[in-house]
Structure 1
Amino acid sequence: METGHDRDHPLHGGMMNTVRRRGDRVVRLAPDHAPALHAFLTDLAATGFTGAPRPLALNPDGHEELTYLEGDVALPPFPAWALTDRTVTLVARLLRRYHDAAAEVPFDPGARWPTALSDPEGGPLLCHNDPCLENVVFRDGCAFALIDFDLAAPGRPRPPPLGRGRPGLLPRPDPGPRVGRRHRLPRRGRPHRLRLLADGYGLSHADRALLPATVVRYNEVSRAFVLDRVERGDPVFTRDLERLGGMARWDRRRDWLIEREPLFLRALTE
């Protein structure tokens, strides 16, 4: 007899995968590189790092099972608490904890790690590559864990620009983007929040000098990711692209970021 504990419950927020909760575990379609990713996550848990799901099974039907992490995940339309300066700092600290732990864990260099949002130059540790709000679990008011490691790949331990959502949700080329009438980012602007990200992560002075150019590169990588999904006929990304003005919006975003690189640099280093 099936009980409520055994029944699957859909988990909302994902754009690229269907995720279901089954009791104390999550069931989802496994990525092609799941064996290598599961080995990494298992070894990561062995270091004492609790901010990532633990693999439980790879099933013959192509699905994987992972531990379900209790907590709150911010989904669009984002609640006010998810858009505060404090959240930027908390997520930056979580990323630093993850990178410090991941630096101690080997990964299979021969695995077919996804390149969609990866560091073009590769790197010494397995980076998450998609730490948007929908992929962070908050518990007791703190950023507790990262979820959805499908896009994890070798990279350099540097915090990416923390966005409002996945690359499929096109950003506005201005310092105070709206997320709907009831969801606006603080008016202090992106230089201030970029500084919070760097401070929370504990970024070195040398890496702070490189961060504005990293933001520009991340925008280009995200643009290519969205374009690829649209060309593959992905209905979710196609709909978002049409709704938010097409690829030209990414180009305006790029120009805006390049124009403001000196402003970002001053905010990070002075």
Structure 2
Amino acid sequence: MLDLLRHLEREGFGGAPRALGFDDRGREVLTFVDGRSGARPAETDVGPVREGHRVWRDDVLVHLGGLLRAYHDAAATFPWTGREWQLEVRRPVETICHNDLSPGNVVFRAGVPVALIDWESAAPGPRAWDLGYAAWNWVPFSSEERCRAAGLPTSIAEKARRFRLLVDAYGVEADVGILRTGIERMRQYLDHLWTLVAEGSEWEVRLARRGVLDELAHEIAWVEDHAVALVES
């Protein structure tokens, strides 16, 4: 991970912590990235917020798309072969995917995303692996039923508009393939959660008992059913 961060610095990417080396206990030492995590945004950073659901401002999506593109371009030249990665390498390899672009791993300053943190899951893969997952989390892609229950906009056309904002800022056209890659990523995540349930992991067992994993499966199915409309509406 330190080698990747040093490469990003050499490539001029400013949206990541700097690698300082190791401390006397062998732990990696990074610079602190000043700002606020998207897991706990200021009220001015988001639009409607109901029961933990967020609708990020349009300019947040635009800045995130640009930040992700700058990262992917800088990471694309990283020499990745012959290295060990915590997650599997995904083909086609186009860059080093961050692999966890949830709001909690994005740092905000002045209300917009400026940096990415938590790099342990980074691994080689296609750009759409990150872009599809980012779209899922930030547009966000939630069923009409879930949005209605949270008092948020339910329109598929509005979700499609916000999806285009994100991918336009990244520099690609909205494509159903990006959504299908996001679906694959979320299925992988759900399978991982069920594996932890089977192993008796306390937190995941509680999630399963509360129906959270079944709700995620329902959300995945909803996005799959509406993938074309989410691109073309």
User: Same fold judged by TM-score > 0.5?
Assistant: yes
Letter in 2 for 1:201: Y
2:69 corresponds to 1:99 = no
2:173 corresponds to 1:236 = no
Superposition pairs of residues 1-270 of structure 1, within 5 angstroms? 37-59=1-23, 61-76=25-40, 79=43, 81-82=45-46, 83-107=56-80, 109-115=81-87, 120-158=90-128, 159-162=131-134, 163-164=136-137, 174-175=143-144, 177=146, 186-188=153-155, 189-204=158-173, 208-243=175-210, 245-267=211-233
Equivalent residue number for residue 4 of structure 1: none
- What is the Cα deviation at residue 190 of structure 1? 2.7
Letter in 1 for 2:162: R
Normalising by structure 1, what TM-score? 0.69
- What is the Cα deviation at residue 173 of structure 1? 5.1
Counterpart-to-counterpart distance in 2, 1:173 and 1:70 = 31
Higher relative contact order (CA 8 A, sep 6+): 2
DSSP-derived class of the 1:247 partner: helix
Q: Deviations over 1:10-64 (max 9, x none)?
A: xxxxxxxxxxxxxxxxxxxxxxxxxxx1111111101111111112223464532
Give 5+ residue unaligned stretches, structure 2. 47-55
**Using a 3 Å threshold, how does the CA distance of structure 1 residues 246 and 126 change in structure 2: closer, same or farther?**
same
Q: Is the 8 A contact 2:36 2:107 kept in 1?
A: yes
Q: Deviations over 1:105-144 (max 9, x none)?
A: 323x2222122xx674351321101111111111233311
Q: Is the 8 A contact 2:95 2:124 kept in 1?
A: yes
Q: Is the 8 A contact 2:106 2:113 kept in 1?
A: yes
Q: Is the 8 A contact 1:40 1:106 kept in 2?
A: no
Give 5+ residue unaligned stretches, structure 1. 1-36, 166-170
Letter in 1 for 2:75: A
- What is the Cα deviation at residue 235 of structure 1? 3.3
DSSP-derived class of the 1:144 partner: strand
Q: Is the 8 A contact 1:176 1:186 kept in 2?
A: no
DSSP-derived class of the 1:160 partner: helix
**Using a 3 Å threshold, how does the CA distance of structure 1 residues 258 and 145 change in structure 2: closer, same or farther?**
same
Q: Tell me how many residue pairs correspond in the alignment.
A: 217
Q: Is the 8 A contact 2:101 2:133 kept in 1?
A: no
Q: Is the 8 A contact 2:105 2:117 kept in 1?
A: yes
Higher percent of residues as helix: 2
Superposed CA RMSD in Å reads 2.9
Normalising by structure 2, what TM-score? 0.79
**Using a 3 Å threshold, how does the CA distance of structure 1 residues 263 and 134 change in structure 2: closer, same or farther?**
same
**Using a 3 Å threshold, how does the CA distance of structure 1 residues 185 and 78 change in structure 2: closer, same or farther?**
farther
